[in-house]
Amino acid sequence: MQSALMRQLALAKKSRSTLFPFIGRSATFQAWNHYPRNDAIDTSAAWQFYYHAHDSGGEVAPRHPQEHGHIHLFKRSTRGLLSHVAGLSLDARGVPLTWFACNQWVTGERWRSGAAMGRGLHTLRLDVRGPLAGAANWLADLVRGYAQPLQDMLLARDTALRTYCEQRQIPPTQAMNDRSIAVWSSFPISWPDDAVALRGQVCTYDNPRRSV
């Protein structure tokens, strides 16, 4: 957590935000486009992420009223199939706002259980070469710092999905493709207050918010 904050401060001294590594070198910023264009994949090929934003007419609403865009972080299988770990909303200054767990249709992911997706978050490393190396380290710092609430959020995602299906007596695949539901669970964060208050300790939240 402290290292993530220090990385942001180092960028601020250059009059840059944490959005700069993603979009600062682009001539124009286009809603829905991935930044970087072909996503960032770490050298182990186990993780993939990108930044993008929705336009005002999109069917998926922003996760926070101050959101500029968000990062999507995925686990990759050995065959390159993607499973969504979490989304991270950022404001126009690159300040983190909210973590959220998507419905399957949002990213077209290979769905895996929350328990499986939460493994290894406490020790996550993102080794990315080139201009996004620092941003990758910053994102990994945040994931490790919020590892426990992220695990809880993924479990809450599964509970929300299961409850929704039981109440309506429908199969999970139908709920996963329900475009009226973009997010199953989420939790807001207070940044940089969390990093300052915890001084490098792991952050915990009691109950991630269910979105359904």
pLDDT digits (tens, 9 = 90+) for 129-185: 999 999 999 999 999 999 999 999 999 999 999 999 999 999 999 999 999 999 999
Does residue 80 have a pLDDT over 70? yes
Residue 137: which domain range? Answer: 2-201
Report residue 13's pLDDT band, with 50, 70 and 90 as the boundaries: confident
How far is residue 184 from each of residues 2, 53, 56, 58, 117, measured CA to CA in Å?
Answer: 29, 19, 21, 18, 15
The residue-averaged pLDDT of 76-81 equals 96
Give residue-wise pLDDT tens across range 184-197: 999 999 887 887 77
The residue-averaged pLDDT of 95-100 equals 94
How many domains does the chain contain in total?
1
Residue 210 lies in a domain: no
Residue 25 lies in a domain: yes
Residue 206 lies in a domain: no
Q: In this prediction, what percent of the chain has a pLDDT beyond 70?
A: 88
Residue 212 lies in a domain: no
Cα four-point dihedral sign 6, 8, 12, 14: positive
Residue 208 lies in a domain: no
Residue 211 lies in a domain: no
Residue 165 lies in a domain: yes
pTM of the model: 0.88
| Closest residue by Cα to residue 98 from 182, 194, 188 | 188
DSSP string, 52-87: E---TT-SS--SSTT--EEEEEEEE-TT--EEEEEE
